[in-house]
Structure 1
Amino acid sequence: MNFVPLLAQESAATIDVSAQLTQNLLTTNNVWMMLSTALVFIMHLGFAGVEAGFGQAKNTVNILFKNTITPILGIITYALAGFYLMYPGFETPGWFGFDAAGWSMFWFSPGDADVTAAYADAGYTYWTDFLFQAMFAATAATIVSGAIAERVKLWSYLIFTLFFVGIVYPIIGSWKWGGGALDAMGFYDFAGSTLVHSVGGWGALAGVILVGPRIGKYVNGKTVDKPGASVPLAVIGVFLLWLGWFGFNGGSVLSADPGLVSFVLVTTSLAACAGGLGGFLAGYFVFKRLDLGMVLNGILAGLVGITAGADVINPGSAVIVGFIAGILVVLSAVLLDSLRLDDVVGAVSVHLTCGVWGTLAVGIFSTNPDHSFITQLIGVAVCGVTAFVSAFVIFYVLKMTIGIRVSEEHEKSGLDSHEHGIRGYTIVYDE
């Protein structure tokens, strides 16, 4: 009996089964990545809710307009330049590179894009890779929007977004996620406590400094509260952001690995809860009241704090990281007000202060012995200086040319009527 044909058939069948399993793995992973992309996208609605809720009613349309345009510009600019700056394919780890071949393929030869299991170890396709990362890029710009709301010129903000998201953010991101110099150094940032959140926070701080505080915010050494338009809307926004973070951190596993994804979602949720608790207690201690705003920002602080190490920090340590972040966000807000730095939604405190803390926390609590506090500190410093100086220069050039602040008249009466011709809240009485 000739066994050769039988062996050949069995070998072919084995290959077919293996290929099918690989294809099924790619499909499963890619579906999770696309779902994560959708969850990150919905975070823009969360940001819009938080900013419109904490902002004054007379500026609601202006705030929502910026939050609508931001992801539009963010995704477009990331497609034009950001993706190829962030993943330049460094031959050796460096500080700057551009993937011209990838840019040409994206726009003119999309059929050459790798959508097979050979791309990213069967984790996702080339197109999913772009879209997931584009959502992160747009998020970095949205952070700036909330901090300088209610007095910044719309056109100046939009121009800033083009340069910050299209150039600054992806270059900094390439140093770690693109295989650049920080990655070679051993710097670790799982989902972007520094690369997304503190980069956006540094941009927000530069904007707050150069735009200046709102009229009447600081009077005779005292901080004057500016009542938000809708507390319920702010709460809805925070819960939408929390929901989106399941994709933000869970998707950063870059596969549907059941063990790691579920672990990351647990540490993410625990840190959010601990952050809310920290904000609640610190807010009560500082302000002597049950401050809902500090609980909400505490939740976001915990989420930002755990983002750098959600996959390498144990659940117990995640609670500590989140709780400390919740306390820090309150203390940071108090410090900013004492320095007369007017941040409408607390973006600098949430994203910058807690982004830095979360990145450093990797060097303290990580289960990976290769992660070093000193290396994390160097990475935070390098990214921080680059982001702040770049944002400051962009805002300063805009200030010296077209201006970055609306007129006193427009600010006092509200930006909605002057710039958009409608108001966010209108009551119509029948005659």
Structure 2
Amino acid sequence: MTKTGRYTRLAGMAGLAMLAMTAPAFAQEVEEEVFTLSGPETAYIFNTLLFLIGGFLVMWMAAGFAMLEAGLVRSKNVAMQCTKNIALFSIAGIMYYLVGYNLMYDGVDGGYFGSISLWGVDDSGGVGTDASGYASASDWFFQMVFVATAASIVSGTLAERIKLWPFLVFTVVLTGVIYPIQGAWQWGGGWLSEMGFSDFAGSTIVHSTGGWAALMGALILGPRLGKYVKGGGVNPMPGSSMPLATLGTFILWLGWFGFNGASQLALGTVDDANAVSTIFINTTIAAAAGVVAAMILTQLLYKKVDITMALNGALAGLVAITAEPLAPTLGWACIIGGIGGVIVVLTVPLLDKLHIDDVVGAIPVHLFAGIWGTMAVPLTNADTSFAVQATGVISIGIFVAVSSLVLWLALRFTIGIRCSEEEEMMGLDKAEIGVEAYPEFTTS
């Protein structure tokens, strides 16, 4: 070994010795650092982060709804659906800022609604002394994207024959008044909350609300031209793109992890982290069961698998598990989601028999599966009862249905809600938007 090599070896050994002597002190410094990061401030950061991550995942669901609807309507109406979806999301945000948030959360105190006032962010109060703190702006953002989801449900049902501006007027009232009031009854600490009603992430508060509003709109608006023929027949009107519809479904599935997972409302403890993880796996297994159940049932009933039923089966499974995604075992989550998929397959033709034209199947997915999911909560959550759950489903259903019906009728008899027959045949891309999604070709 050369002299240089010996010096290098000795220097290395000395360095290791010094590291060994300082290791306990270094470890103590790391331990102290970890200890200082384990208090209320850290819980505040993680809770806020959960709201923000969940919020932007739910916001991404707006893209899912847009793509799902774009795929399930005919080519001549695709640009109209895209326009409605970006417009309703924007309106929901503004209305929730102007009146919705405070109406839903400010001073409800066991009553029916909060204050009618402008929401203003106030994060100046510090992090508190426990693990329940979070930035109020993150909470507003998370709650706002939920109300936009409810409005998106209405858009798909009424596609291909409703005028743009009457629909947007309805969206203003739905997101600013109707949704916040019924949401205050439970999530705002209102009378349903006091009674013990449970709807973890909104099978009824979000999805059935959108479903009831959509159903009332479909009844007043009427079916598309040529959808139902004399003698009770149904004229199929295939959508423009199954790849787009499938992409939209996968985007919605991804967004649902924020929808359900962040509804735990906290990530500041080990128990919260475990709860969010459980919610994630229950959410995805329910969606998977909805797909499989819908595929098997359509094969048995129609001798073929219907891709639109499979897609809506996934969404119905997601809607069904949303009311209680934490308490069920994986087996129960599979059953709850699977029944959601069955509900879609059975109720889509039921609506056709009643001549209720729901273009994308939103009423079976969001209303019927939402009711099922809410009523299924006592099966896995012993703190609830079927009577109380039914009270919540019925009361919210009556309020949303009646208020939506009144509003749809008012719009119909004032500014009108339906385009002309000529405009419907032409397609709303040309008639209402002036920009076609597929200018090279359109089909009826």
**Where does residue 151 of structure 2 map in the other structure?**
141
Deviation at 1:192, TM superposition (A): 0.1
Give runs of aligned pairs for residues 404-419 of structure 1, distance below 5 A. 404-419=417-432
Deviation at 1:26, TM superposition (A): 1.5
Match of 2:63 among 32, 39, 45: 45
Aligned length: 406
**Where does residue 248 of structure 2 map in the other structure?**
237
Match of 1:279 among 269, 285, 294: 294
Distance 2:195 2:303 in 1: 45
**Where does residue 349 of structure 2 map in the other structure?**
334
Give runs of aligned pairs for residues 78-89 of structure 1, distance below 5 A. 78-89=96-107
Distance 2:243 2:45 in 1: 39
Match of 2:263 among 252, 259, 270: 252
Instruction: Give secondary structure in 2 for the equivalent of 1:191.
Output: coil
Distance 2:274 2:135 in 1: 22
CA RMSD after TM alignment: 1.9
Structure 2 letter corresponding to 1:311: L
TM-score (structure 1 length as normaliser): 0.91
Match of 1:420 among 433, 439, 443: 433
Structure 2 letter corresponding to 1:229: S
Structure 1 letter corresponding to 2:244: L
| Change in CA separation of 1:174 and 1:154 when aligned onto 2, cut-off 3 Å | same
**Where does residue 4 of structure 1 map in the other structure?**
none
Q: Does structure 2 conserve the Cα–Cα contact (< 8 Å) formed by 1:156 and 1:404?
A: yes
Instruction: Give secondary structure in 1 for the equivalent of 2:376.
Output: helix
Distance 1:249 1:241 in 2: 12
Distance 1:90 1:157 in 2: 29
Distance 2:78 2:49 in 1: 36
Structure 2 letter corresponding to 1:391: S
Q: Does structure 2 conserve the Cα–Cα contact (< 8 Å) formed by 1:114 and 1:125?
A: no
Alpha-carbon displacement from aligned partner over 1:163-206 (angstroms, at most 9, x marks no partner): 01100001000000000000011100000000000000000000
Percent pairwise identity: 45
Q: Does structure 1 conserve the Cα–Cα contact (< 8 Å) formed by 2:40 and 2:129?
A: no
1:348 aligns with 2:356: no
| Change in CA separation of 1:225 and 1:252 when aligned onto 2, cut-off 3 Å | same
| Change in CA separation of 1:375 and 1:122 when aligned onto 2, cut-off 3 Å | closer
Q: Does structure 1 conserve the Cα–Cα contact (< 8 Å) formed by 2:157 and 2:214?
A: yes
Distance 1:85 1:119 in 2: 28
Distance 1:28 1:238 in 2: 29
Instruction: Give secondary structure in 2 for the equivalent of 1:175.
Output: helix
Q: Does structure 1 conserve the Cα–Cα contact (< 8 Å) formed by 2:40 and 2:130?
A: no
Distance 1:54 1:284 in 2: 21
Instruction: Give secondary structure in 1 for the equivalent of 2:357.
Output: coil
Deviation at 1:278, TM superposition (A): 1.3
Match of 1:75 among 79, 83, 93: 93
1:377 aligns with 2:390: yes
Distance 1:120 1:48 in 2: 40
Structure 1 letter corresponding to 2:71: G
Alpha-carbon displacement from aligned partner over 1:305-362 (angstroms, at most 9, x marks no partner): 0000101222111111011110001111011000000000000010000000000000
**Where does residue 206 of structure 1 map in the other structure?**
216
| Change in CA separation of 1:349 and 1:138 when aligned onto 2, cut-off 3 Å | same
Structure 2 letter corresponding to 1:261: V
1:225 aligns with 2:236: yes
Structure 2 letter corresponding to 1:68: I
Q: Does structure 2 conserve the Cα–Cα contact (< 8 Å) formed by 1:115 and 1:126?
A: no
Deviation at 1:119, TM superposition (A): 9.4
Instruction: Give secondary structure in 2 for the equivalent of 1:63.
Output: helix
**Where does residue 23 of structure 1 map in the other structure?**
41
Deviation at 1:374, TM superposition (A): 1.0
TM-score (structure 2 length as normaliser): 0.88
Q: Does structure 2 conserve the Cα–Cα contact (< 8 Å) formed by 1:124 and 1:254?
A: no
Deviation at 1:99, TM superposition (A): 6.2
Distance 2:419 2:247 in 1: 29
Match of 1:189 among 184, 196, 199: 199
Structure 2 letter corresponding to 1:411: E
Deviation at 1:114, TM superposition (A): 4.5
Q: Does structure 2 conserve the Cα–Cα contact (< 8 Å) formed by 1:202 and 1:352?
A: yes
Gapped regions of structure 1 (runs ≥ 5) = 1-13
Match of 1:98 among 103, 112, 115: 115
Structure with greater Cα Rg: 2
Deviation at 1:120, TM superposition (A): 8.9
1:318 aligns with 2:333: yes
Bigger mean CA deviation after superposition, 112-121 or 256-265: 112-121
